[in-house]
Structure 1
Amino acid sequence: MGVNLLDVVGSGPAYRISESDVKRFATGEVAPAPTTSAPVPAMPLPDFSKFGPVRREAMSGIRRATVRSMAQAWSTIPMVTQFDKADITEMEALRKKMGPRAEKRGAKVTMTAILLKIAAAALKQFPKFNASIDTASNEVIFKEYIHIGVAVDTPTGLLVPVVRDVDKKGVITLAAELGEIAAKARDRKLTPEEMQGASFTISNLGGIGGTGFTPIVNWPEVAIMGVSRSSMEPVWNAEKGTFEPRNIMPFSLSYDHRLIDGADAARFCRFVAEMLEDPFLLGFEG
């Protein structure tokens, strides 16, 4: 119809553009107001070419979608981030021990796969983190399912495929599914349905580096976990009176402060840390 979608303000959630929005724009009709507050007008940029050579490159569809969703989340959710650390020495030893068993089933047990199972247990223990806020009706929607999104770094941008019914699957099964969806994400073969329905998200940057970060909550979820690179640190052993080398993993939890209080977030993080520190608990809580 000759319509430039960049000129259309969608009337759906997060300014999503529908077929009717395009038709209205093409005929000059006024579109209904979006279901969220109007976006802040973009500030005009200076002419950078006055200072030196520049090059322009069109944003990919994935990057444009990221711009919209991140702006929506940042303008809608009052976010707070809780930071914590976990001693994963014993869990890492167990992960390596289980490696050959998982490989026989075509899977590779990663820390992200273990975190999926631990997060599922935490979401059952703290159901507010597995909810959404309905501001129109002043209600909290508690989800009876646990589907967790996993942020995947791809050459074309960040994608978040969803692992479903995490609480009903074992770690090796989760590891196999995680490997499959991560490969599909990098090959750009994910379907829209495979990136929908998450009730919580995990972003693991430990394979790249960093000591901590503040992930942005993926609306309409109310929390997201960020994981950074673990490292060996000296930890005081009071019983022995000596320092011991331990594998310490920093992680963070960003949450919607409208629903979740700081004490709730601290308890959630402590629950996750205790599960990571004692693999035996995974058999009970997971």
Structure 2
Amino acid sequence: MGEFTIKMPDVGEGVAEAELVEWHVKPGDPVREDMVLAAVMTDKATVEIPSPVSGKVLWLGAEVGDTIAVKAPLVRIETSAEAAEAAPDSVPEALAEKVLDQPVAVSSRSEAGAAAQAKRPAPEPAPAPRETPSFSAKPLASPAVRLRARESGIDLRQVTGTGPAGRITHEDLDLFLSRGAGPVAAPAGLVRKTAVEEVKMTGLRRRIAEKMSLSASRIPHITYVEEVDMTALEDLRATMNRERKSEQAKLTILPFLMRALVRTAAELPGVNATFDDHAGIIHRHSAVHIGVATQTPAGLMVPVVRHAEARGIWDCATELSRLAEAARTGTATRDELTGSTITISSLGAIGGIASTPVINHPEVAIVGVNKIAVRPVWDGAQFVPRKIMNLSSSFDHRVIDGWDAAVFVQRLKTLIETPALIFVEG
């Protein structure tokens, strides 16, 4: 024969000790593998301690009410030499199950245990056995019983528990199955799936992850969301598209936004900038190189429309269309994917109500375009339908103060809501 010592398991949450609140066994009792031996309580949960081996209890290391340190000896069990050697060094975390917000029935076996029990609110009396199970509370059962029930497809709420406080035992499961009550049948066509697909992050996806991690770790973001009335711009866009030449690209809202950014950058140059945080130098650019986040089959790319300040609406639309196609087909050059001074992020029709776009490091600002929706707007006399969109813009708070961010977005709002101003020179 051999001897196996069960130690107080690490119950997580940074807990170094726990209070013993219940023994299920006493010296001399026979135990079997997975049988619950004791229950301990932390400030967050009650944890049941199962036995990893079968055998006979030789010694208990504490009394109810005692505080036990993690890894302190708790129970010694006489078992076969083979079982003692094969058993794990500690109780597996999967078996040391936390049972939250459930009363624990404590049977005091000493004055210390009784005193400790008196310190806690008295547990509710165990319910009398009943044929109709209750569906309002989580059934009391050991981790091993729960595991067996899951594997057998048994809903424990349908099983009557005969243990202390209505606890469901292995014998209760045996009786339940002997009565012909089978597993809960799954709806036709529904099966359990356990496969896990491992996808190695490589290539562009890895570079995107590195770029996003760099931006999030080094740039303190501030996001400013503003509602913009797109009705006038959408009417103008529809008119211009009807009259466009065959060689001209179809206008989206992005060329208008790009031209509005050019006008705003001329008035607020601090936003069209990059920040070398190693050298502590802000580079304010007179050229407006606008990156446009573009979804491709390979992942997110940011082609750059260079010198937007020297391009008109149609030229911006043509260049944007060319670059987006090059990005999607994988033919964009390195120069076409680098060097932006400010970025636009747009998810088009699925753009949501608002977003928190991540700045394209080392830039200091990014403008997020959300979807357009028709909403009722009060015009002073009545509600009228208007096409409304939110701009969600993020800024590097080391460089851009909240006030300057608001001024920038409000200027964009004015230009977009009065699109004729976009075309005014000077």
After TM superposition, the score normalised by the length of structure 1 is 0.79
- 1:229 aligned onto 2:375: no
Q: Residue deviations 1:189-242, cap 9 Å, x none?
A: 11111011100000111322311100000111000010110101111111xx11
Alignment of 1:122-161 (within 5 A): 122-161=264-303
Whether the 8 Å CA contact 1:161–1:196 is kept in 2: the answer is yes
Identical aligned pairs, as a percentage? 39
Aligned equivalent of 1:56: 198
Higher helix fraction (1 or 2):
1
Matches of 2:337 and 2:226, distance apart in 1: 28
- 1:74 aligned onto 2:216: yes
Match of 2:315 among 173, 177, 186: 173
Matched residue SS, 2:352? coil
Matched residue SS, 1:102? coil
Alignment of 1:235-274 (within 5 A): 235-238=377-380, 241-274=381-414
Matched residue SS, 1:56? coil
In structure 2, runs of 5+ residues without a counterpart are 1-192
Matches of 2:300 and 2:274, distance apart in 1: 23
Query: How far is the alpha carbon of 1:103 from its aligned partner?
Result: 4.0
Matches of 2:400 and 2:292, distance apart in 1: 21
Matches of 1:159 and 1:98, distance apart in 2: 29
- Where does structure 1 differ by over 6 angstroms across 4 or more consecutive aligned residues? none
Whether the 8 Å CA contact 2:293–2:344 is kept in 1: the answer is yes
Matched residue SS, 2:348? coil
Query: How far is the alpha carbon of 1:58 from its aligned partner?
Result: 2.5
Matched residue SS, 2:392? strand
Matched residues, number? 234
Calculate the aligned-residue CA RMSD, in Å.
1.5
Aligned equivalent of 2:123: none
Aligned equivalent of 1:276: 416
Higher RCO (CA-CA < 8 Å; seq separation 6+): 1
Whether the 8 Å CA contact 1:162–1:195 is kept in 2: the answer is yes
Whether the 8 Å CA contact 1:90–1:277 is kept in 2: the answer is yes
Whether the 8 Å CA contact 2:349–2:372 is kept in 1: the answer is no
Alignment of 1:185-196 (within 5 A): 185-196=327-338
Matched residue SS, 1:144? coil
In structure 1, runs of 5+ residues without a counterpart are 1-50
Q: State the one-letter code of the partner of 1:162.
A: V
Whether the 8 Å CA contact 2:248–2:314 is kept in 1: the answer is no
- Going from structure 1 to structure 2, the CA distance change for 1:106 and 1:146 (only over 3 Å counts) comes to same
- 1:91 aligned onto 2:229: no
Q: State the one-letter code of the partner of 1:251.
A: L
Aligned equivalent of 1:23: none
Whether the 8 Å CA contact 1:60–1:156 is kept in 2: the answer is no
After TM superposition, the score normalised by the length of structure 2 is 0.53
